[in-house]
Structure 1
Amino acid sequence: MAKRSNDNQSIEDILKEFVQTNNLQSGLDKVDVRDAWINLMGNGVNNYTTAIELKNETLYVKLSSSVLREELSYGTEKIIAMLNESLGKELVKKLVLR
């Protein structure tokens, strides 16, 4: 049973505690990375993006265009830096384009 306190707490604190107690942070990070990719890359890249998955600090992005995959492979370090800056924390260490 969840602990109950009579102290007044902000919604932010309650939600942080809920996420921490139920180990939900990794799932939220996956959603945040997917949203960051969509926002940073724009429609041109997103039209060819078929799957985005974060596993153990490695971001796997499946692209339907081999030409686009080759172009993006030249700027993987910059993409990783932009994603981490957008997320506000160091979540992505490696980018794999498939």
Structure 2
Amino acid sequence: MKTLEFLILGKNEAILTILLRLVNANENWNAVGFSDENEAQDYFLANKIDMVLLSSAIEDHVEKEFTSFCLKHHPEVEVIEHFGGGSGLLQSEIYHRLHLKGKL
């Protein structure tokens, strides 16, 4: 299985750190995190991202603009809004999206 590349955007540094740890715990997943949407956009354009996770403390307009940006530049990317609920919920959300895309 190919390694899935994740970009995580979140303004709460503690939660961002936890999400990075949880995603990177899977040997087939690789995540990079950002708290600044402009830096995240630059990284997104320079790298092949499979999934974008939007975490907590992102303003509504930033969430919408960043999602639109990602889908405009890479329509196949999966954007998941994850605002808590523990590691089990996060993994379920990711696996659900992979299943829907036929990647499982």
Q: TM-score, normalised by structure 2?
A: 0.29
Determine which structure has more spread, i.e. the larger CA radius of gyration: 1
Structure with a larger share of its residues in helix? 1
